[in-house]
Chains A and B, each alone.
Chain A
Amino acid sequence: MIPLIDVKGITKIYNGGEIATKALSDVSFEIEKGEFVAIVGPSGSGKSTLMHILGCLDIPTSGTYIINGRNVENMNDDELANIRNKEIGFVFQAYNLLSRTTSIKNVCLPMIYAGIPKTERYERAKKLLISVGLGNKLFNSPNQLSGGEKQRVAIARSMATEPSIILADEPTGNLASKQSMEIMDIFDELNIKGNTIILITHEENIAKRAKRIISIMDGKIVNDTGRLN
């Protein structure tokens, strides 16, 4: 079976001024469809860099990255934008919702870029928001929502274009523990439905909810539990 994500010998070097910093060195792993993976590591370990590369927000200095059979090497800005739109659903620590618009319009946004017609967009967005328990907050703007609710809108948004993977970068980082658990319940549920989830976190108890843990330190993988059943 061809893995959904295939990372081979990825190295990322930042040329900040005189000193070149190696954020990732020769990282390789594969993720199959339907996995729920946590990438853990302390800050400065390179996990954010890895997340950016996995999310096609940045490109590696060397090495190959194949997502859903597509090699992102040598892709230009617009092709990368297309991959982000079709293959990846982002959930950020800071929610990153557009503050001026309603929940439903936020969920619609990636579908606008995917060229999905308006009526279908709204229908799908409504369904997604109901599925994350926000059926009564469709037309609230983000500043009328609690942190947990905002993150649920973000999760609904990440599902909008039915991407291959959901990439969650410290999704519970700004939340209280009760809300964190609720968010993790949603991820569990999504994974059970067959979605592939990659969770980047530094919290042990959050990482434990995943079915595979890749530990990263100083730009290298130090431990990969493999698929736990």
Chain B
Amino acid sequence: MKLLEILEESILVLKTNRMRTVLSVLGIIIGIGSVISLITLGEASQQSVKERIQSLGSNLITISPGGTQSGFLRGGPDDAKTLKYNDALEIEKSDRLTTVDKVAASYSSRAQISFQENNMNTNVIGITENYFSLRNIEIEYGVGITQKDIGTSSKVVVIGNGVIEELFTGKVNPIGQGIRIDGNSFKIIGITKSKGSEMVSSDNSVFIPLTTAQKVLYGIDHVTSILVSAKNEELIDPAMNQLGYLLLELHGIKNPEDADFSITSQEDLLETVSEITGTFTTLLTGIAAISLVVGGIGIMNIMLVTVTERTREIGIRKALGAKRKTITKQFLVESIVLTLTGGVLGLLLGIGVSLIITKTMGLPSVISITSISLAVGVSCLIGIIFGWYPAHRASKLQPIEALRYE
């Protein structure tokens, strides 16, 4: 008996028992629906986190002071003073770093800043020229910090968009105004463009030349981070290696395990975050999958009822020459059609629900081929697993017994 004919027959049977069909696949619909919407939501939130991290700067490598394996006796990375501005200059100068594009150093601390009577406590970051481009920060008004400012340790400042709201009431144009940072007077030369809802926002920071921060404000010579960009995404890992060896050499360290700095890429951060959201998604999907098992048991139950109800039909078919395999196939196809119908309806439900949620939460909605094929595959699989036993039972019926059945 051809599969297409069996299929036709199964659909006919399921159509005649429409109400029962719908009720018995409800479990599958809900199960597949929730799995699909959870996967889609998981993917959407992962996507949005990814986008946010990438907006911090692409191909970005961060070098921080202090070793990665620093125990608490060695002090946290905040206390480490092992990275100098000179390291950044050496990286920039080196011919060996073929994979590296731009380099910037920064020293960040918190300080009191004030304009007339208004004041606030915020991040004051001493930077070099490439810092803005590496961190994807754009200047909205005025100019950025240049190499010349750094050379002369000039007292100029670029302020974040958020700072304006705090310090200026909106009546004064901040460009050209003077503000005080820890008692020193600085001239505002630029304002950064708002980056909105980012994880690490630059909106409430103020930026001054690195040398000004080191010499004028704090009297130190170390930096809190060196930012480096790789020439492209593929070169991130080689760049991290080259940077590591160069710095070990510069710091006169032989064993990489004793390194007094650590190098991380944006990708590392991305991975960590992905891992966390991934775990959550898996967990929730797992819970939803339990409902699929429950749905599957419902299918098995209804198929067993069907087999009992149609005992006589099975007897007739066997008397007319149906082989065991044919009977098995017939009932298996019926249960697969049942679960597949549930799977498709569940998929539509899941897509609908996730579209509504992503829309209201402002997440990007990604409906992946993976989730579609998952819905179809899983629902078929449930049909096979939970339909097999009833189908097997039907095929085992002896024709005489089945024909006698009333």
Interface residues of A, Cβ cutoff 8 Å to B: 52, 55, 57-58, 77-78, 81-82, 84-86, 90, 92, 96-98, 100-101, 109-110, 112-114, 118, 157, 161
Contacts and interface: CB of A to CB of B under 8 A. Distances in A.
Given A78-B323, A100-B12, A100-B16, A109 B399 contact: no
Given A86-B321, A161-B321, A58 B400 contact: yes
Contacts of A85: 320-321
Interface of B: 1, 5, 12-13, 16, 312-313, 315-326, 399-400, 403
A57 B324 CA distance: 14
Which 5 A-B pairs give the minimum distances between C-beta atoms?
A85-B321, A113-B321, A110-B320, A78-B323, A96-B316
A100 B318 CA distance: 17
Given A57-B400, A112-B1, A113-B1, 17 more contacts: A52-B400, A58-B400, A77-B323, A81-B322, A82-B323, A85-B321, A92-B403, A96-B319, A100-B13, A100-B16, A101-B12, A109-B320, A110-B321, A113-B320, A113-B322, A114-B321, A118-B5
Contacts of B5: 112, 118
Nearest to A115: B1
B321 A84 contact: yes
Main secondary structure of the interface of B (DSSP, over half): helix
Contacts of B319: 55, 57, 84, 90, 96
A82 to B, nearest CB: 7
B392 to A, nearest CB: 13
29 contacts: A52-B400, A55-B319, A57-B399, A57-B400, A57-B403, A78-B325, A81-B318, A81-B323, A82-B321, A84-B318, A84-B319, A85-B321, A90-B319, A92-B403, A96-B312, A96-B315, A96-B316, A96-B403, A97-B316, A100-B12, A100-B16, A109-B320, A110-B320, A112-B1, A113-B317, A113-B322, A113-B326, A114-B321, A118-B5
B395 to A, nearest CB: 9
Contacts of B316: 96-98
Contacts of A55: 319
A145 B372 CA distance: 47
Nearest to B320: A110
Contacts of B320: 84-85, 90, 109-110, 113, 157
Contacts of B323: 77-78, 81-82, 113
A195 to B, nearest CB: 18
A52 B404 CA distance: 12
A221 to B, nearest CB: 22
Nearest to A105: B9
Contacts of A114: 321
